[in-house]
Structures are given as structure tokens and as C-alpha cells.
Amino acid sequence: MFEYLSGLITMVAPDFIVVDVNGVGYRVAVANPYTYQEDNQTPVRIFVYQAVKEDAITLFGFHNQAEKRLFTQLIGVSGIGPKSALAILATPDHQGLINAIQSGNDQYLSKFPGIGKKTASRIIIELKDKVVSAVDGDALNFSAQGPKDASVALLDAVAALESLGYTTRQVEKVKKQLEGLEDDLSTNDYLSQGLKLLSR
């Protein structure tokens, strides 16, 4: 089982990144790829969880151990698969997510794609006493990707929202609101704003 990968990020796509470790490119599914930046000079450390199925081996990546711990807790809940867990973790406010679980706010949780009232209640019941705030200085915040052309950044953010499981109708509605924002936003900024709008 892998614990982390150290290498260069050579590709950022709407639902994954590629980490080059000594000439081998590892495709890693992540909650918000645009918090990472393509950089052929600066090595990064990505904490990973390996999922093995009959027809696939998938690596899921995280900025730190706290984020990975939250992911493994979520997929431990019946009815929550890795894709749903990533969609939940895509929210920029992980502390708000933890607070919602601890306070029993099923309305907040049921706004994520693929999470209904029953599943939200199950998350609360099973994780209420398990999830904690960031531990041992493990921050749940992370830096954003550098600037891009505004139209490209917005299109990348829209593609990322769709890859998280939001419907085309939901995404189109949010896209119209995002188009009214200032022009110098990064993909991560658009994505964070889109997630906030979708969680209302």
C-alpha cells in the first residue's frame, strides 16, 4: 500500500493529476485538481489511498494526512464510494464539513451529489464522534493554481464540477453566476465559488 508519492506534477485535468516519480507518471484522482499546479521544477508530496477492484487499481490523492483521513472515514460509511467522497471533499471548507457532521446538519450534507437524506444521516451517525478538526498541525487548506485566461479557467472549473457528479442543469445554472464574477480569477477560485453556490 502506498502512503505518498513525491515527484513533479506534469498534468492537471478536471478530475485527476499526473505525478511523475522518477520517470513514471502516476494518474491520481483528486477532489480539486486545480489546487495543484503543473510544475516541472518543484517536487511535491501527494498522500495517496490505493483502491483495488477486479477491473481497476485507482490512486486517490490528498494534500495532507488530515484530508486523507477524512476520505477514508467517509468511504467507510455504507453507501459512500470514492467518487462521492471526493465530491464531498471538493468543498473548500473542510472545517465546515466537519462541523456539519458533528452538529448533525444533514441538510448541509445532502446537497453534495449522490448524497440523499438517508446517506447524510448515516454519515452523521457513523462519523459524528470520529471526525475531528485538523490534527497535529495538519492544515486542511491548500494553495491554488496560478493564473490562466479567464474563459479557460471557467471552462476548466465547469468540467471539474461535472466530474464531481453535479448534473448539467446544476452546473449550467452556476456557470451563469460565475460568468458575472471578475475576470482575473483562477480555475480554483471559480471552482470554489461554484461549490459554494451549489451548497446553498
* Shared domain check, 123 and 69: yes
Q: For residue 102, is it within any domain?
A: yes
Kindly write down the DSSP assignment for every residue of 105-162, as one continuous string: -HHHHTTSTT--HHHHHHHHHHHTTT--S--TT--S--PPP----HHHHHHHHHHHHH
- pTM of model > 0.75: no
Interval 4-52: pLDDT, tens? 999 999 999 999 999 999 999 999 999 989 889 888 888 999 999 999 8
Q: For residue 11, is it within any domain?
A: yes
Nearest-angstrom CA–CA distance, 50 and 134: 22
- Rounded to an integer, the average pLDDT of 127-146 is 54
Nearest C-alpha neighbor of 46 from the set 22, 74, 17, 69: 17
* Shared domain check, 181 and 165: yes
Domain boundary among 127, 142, 177: 127
Question: Other C-beta atoms within 10 Å of 155: how many?
Answer: 16
User: To the nearest whole number, what is the mean pLDDT of the chain?
Assistant: 84
* Shared domain check, 69 and 50: no
- Rounded to an integer, the average pLDDT of 135-160 is 59
* Shared domain check, 56 and 69: no
The number of folded domains in the chain is 3
pLDDT value of position 132:
63
* Shared domain check, 169 and 116: no
Please check the confidence at residue 181 and state whether its pLDDT lies above 90: no
Asked if 190 contacts 153 with a C-beta cutoff of 8 angstroms, the reply is yes
pLDDT value of position 163:
81
Q: For residue 53, is it within any domain?
A: yes
Q: Please, what is the Cα angle at 156 between 39 and 99, to 5 degrees?
A: 90
Domain boundary among 85, 112, 127: 127
* Shared domain check, 74 and 35: no
Domain of residue 111, residue span: 65-127
What is the SS3 assignment for 170?
helix
Tell me, what CATH number does 28's domain have?
A: 2.40.50.140
Q: For residue 143, is it within any domain?
A: no
